[in-house]
Amino acid sequence: MREIVFDTETTGLDPKTGDRMVEIGCVEMVNRVATGNTYHAYYNPERDMPAGAEAVHGLSISFLSDKPLFSRTVDELLEFLGDAPLVAHNAGFDFGFLNNELNLIGRQPISLERMVDTVALARKRHPGAKLSLDALCSRYGIDRSHRVKHGALLDAELLAQVYVELTGGRQIGLGLGAQDSDFAAGSAPNGAASKGNTGGEKVFGRASGERREPRPHQPTAEELERHRVFLEEIKDPLWAG
């Protein structure tokens, strides 16, 4: 099953009072494993950036001034989202801003039936515990040391790992579905790489390189021959008794 884990950054807390979405980051998962495919975009909000919001995510109006309007790259975003369920932390907030942007340009809102809220999942699994993304990363041993400020793609990558844990977990030591964050110093104010991104950017492949194809289960003829030779060197094998 294909799912999209996403996060947004905004100018404030309420789109009904004129706040706008300024960043979105999306991580594709198939059968609860991150594929390495992501979507990331910054947007010009056409308004000021309150100091309180900038302190959270580090995105200033000067940084966002040359970024495209949401309407310019919306089709790229919707193509990436497809019809998959959309996973977010306190999802009502992110859906509210995303659907507000769609409404402002006369596009159909995304159905709330597609919404998966990890706060609700965490509250059910850990009643009475702290439910912030930072708290859940600490609970599940997920490294967030590179999270200096909020960033939509970085937070979506962290949330993807939290989501796996909330829905059954994984063997962390084997790295099943784990993806390394591909953040380095760049043009984004908080040090997260924007990868030259002035609009929407679809990123395919592993976060730190090309996507690795799965190994075929059938051994090669060479591997079978090496195995035969190895078995012949074992003296008095138990299976020969």
Q: Which residues are known to be catalytic?
A: 150
Which H helix or E strand runs over 33?
A: strand 33-42
Rounded CA separation 157/34 (Å): 9
C-beta atoms surrounding 9 within 10 Å = 24
Helix (H/G/I), strand (E/B), else coil: 42: strand
Residue environment code for 101-134, b if the CB has 16+ CB neighbours within 10 A, otherwise e: bbeeeeeeebeeebbbbbbbbbeeeeeeeebebe
- β-partners of residue 33 are 30
Task: Give the Å distances, CA to CA, from 73 to 40, 44, 140, 210.
Answer: 11, 12, 35, 25
In total, the chain counts a number of residues equal to: 241
